[in-house]
Amino acid sequence: MRIQDVARALVAPGKGILAADESGGTIKKRFDGIGTESTEDRRRAYREMLFRTKGAAENISGVILFDETIRQNAADGTPLVKLLQDEGIIPGIKVDKGIVGLHGAAGESVTEGLDGLGARLAEYRELGAQFAKWRAVIDIAGDDIPSDYCLDANSAALARYAALCQQEGIVPIVEPEVLMDGSHSIERCFEVTHRALRSLFSALLDQRVALDGCLLKPNMVIPGKLHAGGRATPDAIAEATIRCFRDVVPAAVPGIVFLSGGQSDEEATANLDAINKRGPHPWAFSFSYGRALQAPALKAWLGSDDNIEAGQAAFAKRAKLNGLATSGAYSASME
């Protein structure tokens, strides 16, 4: 299948992506929250529960896996990748190596992982991955952060990663995440997101990346968690997000799959729904949620095999509601 076909399949109507690519440290924090030890077997059991959820493929087009997960087998010996493939769900893989301090830019970061990436992508393709993800982290702090230097350094890394993916026949998801941390306003988020996306698409074009064979995974335009004015309404977030993206994202990109970025389950769904209620748009607006899809399932599962059906039911409901939000058909009364 061509990368363009895979990219379109990932944003098919009513569908979005499950981000199940938590690092060891992140999933440990989530397991700590439910009183479960983060062992390799428990991580496998949890993800197997999600992947075996009946009917999940109606709303989940793809799953982003962690290096550990793409190599694991289910309890019955079936590779976890095959569980997804048998349901018609496309396996993907996180390939970045996390963030480090950016030299010459105090308080800013850049993402590592380009060394040896071509060989790793070839291996992941053999393991079944058809798309990949790389996350850049962009903080807002005062008037001077992020600097243009930080935005351009992260854009260059994202673009090089994307080019290497396409060279290996893998769809790149490019994720320039402007963090919700801090006290910034929605207007400041708009300005930084606009700058980040302009820098990104300039770099993608410089690296000869085929825009119709990649997806964008951005933040919504949203005020910081500590903003004095509190949370913005879904309508305000939708208006600012659409205005920003229409200004800087080329129509050749087939889909925009939002990260949840610290929003609650309900907020992430309601905001996506509000964006799609204002359609039609040049791109498919969908989701690539991690915690906002998984939190109810974790709470229902609690690390016990006795609670697998409850966990799957909670996950299926969240996936369904977000699937409805991709067409603006969600209502808070459905919660």
Q: Measure the CA dihedral 173/276/56/98, to 10°.
A: 30
Percentage of residues in the chain with pLDDT exceeding 70?
Answer: 100
Write down the pLDDT at residue 122: 98
273-295 mean pLDDT: 97
pLDDT digits (tens, 9 = 90+) for 216-270: 999 999 999 999 988 999 999 999 999 999 999 999 999 999 999 889 999 999 9
- pLDDT for 142: 84
Q: CB within 8 A of 146, min separation 6: which ones?
A: 108, 138, 139, 140, 192, 195, 196
d(CA 20, CA 69): 9
Inform me whether the pLDDT recorded for 36 exceeds 90.
yes
Give 38's pLDDT tier (boundaries 50, 70, 90): very high
b/e map 60-87, b = 16+ CB within 10 Å:
bbbbbbbebbbebebeeeebbbebbeeb
- For the chain, the C-alpha Rg in angstroms (whole number) is 19
Q: State which amino acid sits at residue 333.
A: S
Catalytic residue among 94, 133, 217, 320: 217
Sorted by where each starts, the structural domains of the chain and their CATH numbers stand as 3-328 (3.20.20.70)
- Phi and psi angles of residue 216, each rounded to the nearest 5 degrees, phi first: -105, 130
Give φ, ψ of 103 to 5 degrees: -60, 130
For residue 236, give the DSSP letter: H
With CA atoms as reference, report the closest residue to 175 among 113, 107, 229, 88. 113
Long-range contacts of 202-205 (CB under 8 A, 24+ apart): 202/155, 203/152, 203/155, 203/156, 203/158, 203/159, 204/155, 204/158, 204/159, 204/162, 204/174
Q: What DSSP assignment string belongs to 172-217?
A: EEEEEEE---SS--HHHHHHHHHHHHHHHHHHHHHTT--GGG-EE-
Quote the pLDDT of residue 254: 98
Is the pTM value of this prediction over 0.85?
Answer: yes
Task: State the amino acid at position 41 in one-letter form.
Answer: D
Quote the DSSP letter at residue 105. S
Residue 232's pLDDT is 96
From 245, 243, 247, select the one nearest 235 (Cα to Cα).
Answer: 243
* Pair of tokens at residue 277: 């209620």
Residues near 187 by beta carbon (within 8 Å), at least 6 away in sequence: 240
pLDDT at 164: 98
Helix then strand then coil, in percent of the chain rounded to 5, is 50, 15, 35
Please name the residue that has the structure tokens 């998984």. 294
Average pLDDT value for residue range 7-29: 97
> Of 22, 48, 168, 175, which residue is the catalytic one?
175
How many Cβ atoms are within 10 Å of 199's Cβ, its own excluded?
24
Which whole number is the average pLDDT over 98-126?
97
pLDDT tens digit string along 126-182? Answer: 999 999 999 999 999 988 999 999 999 999 999 999 999 999 999 999 999 999 999
Phi, psi at residue 174, to the nearest 5°? -100, 125
The total number of residues written for the chain in this structure: 335
Peptide bond into 146 cis (omega under 30): yes
- Supply 46's token pair: 């949890």
What is the predicted pLDDT for the residue at 1? 87
175 catalytic? Reply is yes
Q: Is the pLDDT of residue 79 over 90?
A: yes
Q: How far apart are CA 97 and CA 63, in angstroms?
A: 19
CB 134 within 8 A of CB 181: no
Average pLDDT over all residues of the chain: 97
